[in-house]
Amino acid sequence: MLKKYEVRYFLIAGGNDSMDTALQMHKLARSSGYELFSVGVPKTVDNDLRVTDHCPGYGSVARYWAISGRDAGRDTDAIYHPDTVKILETMGRDTGWITAAAGLACEAGDDAPQLVYVPEIPFDQEQFLGDVDRVYRKLGRVVIAVCEGLKDKSGEFVTASGRKTDTDSFGHKQLGGVGDVLCDLIAEKLGLKSRFDKPGTIQRMAMVCASEVDREEAYQVGKQAVRLALAGRSGVMVTIERQPGAEYRVAYGTGDLTEIANLRKDLPREFMNAAGNHVSQAFLDYARPLAGGPLPPYVRLKKVAVPKR
């Protein structure tokens, strides 16, 4: 089809599977002697492509969860008697980049979410229950961010659909339901009432939460991809390179698709705290610039006791 219409440039935007497609097109064109320039354009909220500092899409989903996590905290503050524990279930098959972004909601020590769990750290039921119980005894309420791809020590998903119809074209199981499982666990073991919120795909398409930084970088990445293709480059992906210094700045480069396609960049262990139940300062420093400008201002009323009369 490409030969028939004399298509010479193949630019594909996406994540791991899309970068593999770009690589295969590059190899196919070379092996068949057809002049085709194949360039990968990073675009995934999962933020799990190697070589690049981060991926367009991640800054916006990070902003979405920073705002949603804080909103969930204020909601739980207001009605924690009927809903003591709230679980926020985020997207993320194998990595916790999206889940970790909920930690951006914390602006003070006890802000929600008080607990964050990612797939890179094996889920331990007893530790989880101990964490929830500790926060509950201190605050009387708990907000927890968990990844849909949470795994136990054996590497098994905490929950996953077994239906054949819930498998995509690449053989990946459609995940979901971990929030429900954990709600049942908390009720059974701790006797606390809990509920979960699962936004689903809205978290990757809510333009009302789009990061200005993310939007600009997405545009620049697309422009760089076109320039590379026109310059005769092929078998590469555009990369975002964070520059040193206190002020956030980036430059754009390239990475070989053989070092990116079908590979995964996990959330670094140093981006989580020592206990493995919340993000670290290193993650906050990494992610805050990507989420764009300041979050909408919220206030807390000072509690002033009225003297008895």
pLDDT score of 169: 56
Confidence of residue 197 (pLDDT cuts 50, 70, 90): very high
Euclidean distance between CA atoms 173 and 151, whole angstroms = 14
Q: Are residues 36 and 120 in the same domain?
A: no
Residue 182 lies in a domain: yes
**Residue with token string 């204020």:** 74
pLDDT tens, residue by residue, 129-149: 999 999 999 999 999 999 999
- The catalytic residues are 46
Q: What is the mean pLDDT of the chain?
A: 93
CATH number of the domain that 108 lies in? 3.40.50.460
Euclidean distance between CA atoms 141 and 114, whole angstroms = 9
pLDDT score of 167: 57
pLDDT tens, residue by residue, 99-125: 999 999 998 889 999 999 999 999 999
Q: Are residues 178 and 283 in the same domain?
A: yes
Residue 239 lies in a domain: no
Q: Are residues 20 and 82 in the same domain?
A: no
DSSP string, 21-36: HHHHHHHHHHHHT---
pLDDT score of 80: 72
Residue 206 near residue 45 (C-beta atoms within 8 A): no
pLDDT tens, residue by residue, 32-73: 999 999 999 999 999 999 999 999 999 999 999 999 999 999
Does position 165 have pLDDT exceeding 50, yes or no? no
pLDDT score of 166: 53
pLDDT score of 171: 56
pLDDT tens, residue by residue, 181-191: 999 999 999 99
Structure tokens at 283: 């993650």
pLDDT score of 163: 47
292 φψ region: left (φ > 0), alpha (ψ -120 to 50), beta (else): left
**List of residues 6+ apart from 99 with CB closer than 8 A:** 65, 90, 92, 116, 117, 118, 145, 146, 147
Q: Are residues 109 and 63 in the same domain?
A: yes
Does position 174 have pLDDT exceeding 50, yes or no? yes
Residue 299 lies in a domain: no
Q: How many domains does the chain have?
A: 2
Residue 224 lies in a domain: no
Torsion sign (Cα): 303, 83, 158, 261: negative
**7-16, 54-63, 71-80: range with lowest mean pLDDT:** 71-80
pLDDT score of 83: 81
Q: Are residues 165 and 276 in the same domain?
A: yes
Does position 172 have pLDDT exceeding 80, yes or no? no
Confidence of residue 299 (pLDDT cuts 50, 70, 90): confident
Q: Are residues 66 and 148 in the same domain?
A: yes
pLDDT tens, residue by residue, 222-271: 999 999 999 999 999 999 999 999 999 999 999 999 999 999 999 999 99
| Domain membership of residue 168 as a residue range | 58-209+265-289
Residue 257 lies in a domain: no
Q: Are residues 25 and 110 in the same domain?
A: no
Q: Indicate the DSSP class of residue 123.
A: B
Q: Are residues 119 and 81 in the same domain?
A: yes
Structure tokens at 115: 């607990």
The CA-atom distances, in angstroms, between 308 and each of 203, 273, 303 are: 48, 45, 15
For the chain, the first-to-last Cα distance in angstroms comes to: 86
Q: Are residues 118 and 88 in the same domain?
A: yes
